[in-house]
Structure 1
Amino acid sequence: MDNMAYKPQYPETTSAPQYGVPYPPQTQQYPPQTQQYPPQTQYYPQQIQQSTNNVTVVTTGGYQPAIVTTPVERDWTVHAVLATLFCFFPTGICAIITAVHAKNQYLSGDTEGGMRSSILTRRLILISVILGIVLIGTVIGIYSSGPHYY
């Protein structure tokens, strides 16, 4: 086989490229644009929601924004800490965790999730208080029932 058949054919250059030499002027001009684009119409989005804390602005059709206020649920964090310290601490710790979770959900705009977490926090605080009262009452009842000789 002939090795010349597989050799790529490149044009021979006689000199190295020269730097700093300007390019030759371009003679080819672009054709003028004759097609006109149609005028753009105003775009109105169907629904945009912007939410901050407890105020949600809903824009429909792009004409008049409607302001929807969401009720602020009660913050149960302080109650959860007090129930943890003075009542039954295992359910109190769970109440603290769900209270912080509810607050974070409200701040992120998830009001439905925040309401569910707030209701769960309130239930856990109530369970903690009831169990704390029962436990303290049982301990007082045992030690006040009479003399104990050990």
Structure 2
Amino acid sequence: MDNTAYKQQPYGQPAPSYGQPAPPYGPQYPQPVNSSSNNVTVVTAGYQTPTVILPVNTDRDWTVPAIIATLFCFFPTGICAIIAAVNARSQFLAGDMEGGRTSNAWARGLTMTSIGIGTVLVIIIIALYIWVWSVVTINPYT
């Protein structure tokens, strides 16, 4: 009995097709064609009409300034600024532009408040240190 059909094919050689054409590789549906210019992306897929996707215009992201203000300035308002900045980012990504702008304004205001309070506290601490040091050095025996 001849087992030619069961013999292992050499490496790199196609298996016998038995009279059937081999299926083409890759997907059989039309591939989308992407073209981009001036921040506007046009996507066409097969025989559909082109769809224009405009870029999302987000305002400044206040997450990093809020984190820095939390670490180095006044942390209670800094934590609130971080929460507002993360909410603004998620609202922008979800497409809620008005809510994103509102949360972004809150994040900016809380970040600036944290920086302002932190600066005032540092100035007060330096002034108190200078005042106490001057009192101690003027009358060391009292």
Q: If the length of structure 1 is used for normalisation, what is the TM-score? A: 0.54
* Alpha-carbon offset, residue 86 of structure 1: 0.4
- In structure 2, the residue matched to 1:20 is none
SS at match of 1:79: helix
**Mapped partners of 1:107, 1:67: distance in 2:** 14
- In structure 2, the residue matched to 1:121 is 107
Cα deviation code 1:68-126 (max 9, x no counterpart): 54422111111000000000110000000001111111111101100110011000010
What percentage of aligned pairs have identical amino acids? Answer: 48
In the alignment, does 2:136 pair up with 1:136?
no
* Alpha-carbon offset, residue 66 of structure 1: 6.2
**Mapped partners of 2:60, 2:104: distance in 1:** 8
In the alignment, does 2:135 pair up with 1:147?
yes
CA RMSD of aligned residues (A): 2.8
Q: Give matches, 1:81-92, under 5 Å.
A: 81-92=67-78
Q: Work out the number of aligned pairs and report it.
A: 93
Letter in 1 for 2:64: V
- In structure 1, the residue matched to 2:66 is 80
Q: Give matches, 1:1-150, under 5 Å.
A: 68-145=54-131, 146-148=134-136
**Mapped partners of 1:131, 1:141: distance in 2:** 15
Which is helix-richer, 1 or 2? 2
- In structure 1, the residue matched to 2:8 is none
Q: If the length of structure 2 is used for normalisation, what is the TM-score? A: 0.56
**Mapped partners of 1:64, 1:81: distance in 2:** 42
